[in-house]
Amino acid sequence: MIRARYDAAQTTRENVRHWAMADSYSADQSASLEVRRKLRERARYEVANNSYAKGIVLTIANDCFGTGPKLQVLTEDVQINRQIENAFSDWSQAVNLAEKLRTMRMAKTTDSEVFAVLVANPKFDSLVQMDVQFIETERIASPQDQYNLNANDVDGIRLNRLGIPESYTVFCLKRHKLGSWNESYF
């Protein structure tokens, strides 16, 4: 008879302190609004003040996006393919897409989440006047989060019955640190 066990499931004198804070809370219980905010603040501080952490974050962003996405259209019309690819390249350079994607990846690595929205930008001298606008993580929130009145509204993200995001509550901030509860929706 073979007896097997997991070392990580054993509590001994040597590891009792290591496992002292382990609990059986769900991910939602463990990652409350306050816990996420504190982790985000500390992660930002660490990346800003630790060259190793900053280097890791930059490496991840550069490896993911490099010089930016390149569109490859594969229709039967080679000339149309090239025109569409060139138009996308021109647009992505006009909006500085590669830098924005790298910035978003850095925020995802550091803050654990990132939000952006496509907006019309009439300042572009182009057929496509679409731009990528960042939304700071702190702006996605629900004023009732501390009371959690609606189970389908999780920290500013409204979920359908399947748990898929339907809309986001984005607050307009007059000053940082959730200074105003003026709502807008995307």
152: pLDDT confidence band, cut at 50, 70 and 90? confident
Percentage of the residues of the chain whose pLDDT score is greater than 90: 52
What sections of the chain are H helices per DSSP? 27-30, 33-49, 51-65, 78-94, 97-111
Domain residues of the chain, as ranges?
Answer: 31-113
User: Across the chain, what does the average pLDDT equal?
Assistant: 87
User: What count of residues does the chain have?
Assistant: 186
The confidence score (pLDDT) of residue 174 equals 58
The confidence score (pLDDT) of residue 173 equals 64
Three-state DSSP at 158 gives: strand
pLDDT of 130 over the 50 cut: yes
Mean pLDDT over 61-86 rounds to 96
Whole-angstrom Cα distance, residue 132 to residue 119? 6
Three-state DSSP at 32 gives: coil
Tens digits of residue pLDDT in 12-68 = 999 999 989 888 888 877 888 888 899 999 999 999 999 999 999 999 999 999 999
Whole-angstrom Cα distance, residue 126 to residue 79? 20
Exposed (0-12), middle (13-18) or buried (19+): which is 158, by Cβ within 10 Å? middle
- Contact by Cβ (8 Å): 71, 91: no
Say what the pTM is.
0.78
The confidence score (pLDDT) of residue 149 equals 64
Tens digits of residue pLDDT in 15-30 = 999 989 888 888 877 8
Q: What is the DSSP string of 106-156?
A: HHHHHHS--EEEEEE-TTS-SS--EEEEEE-GGGB--TTTTTT--TTEETT
pLDDT of 175 over the 70 cut: no
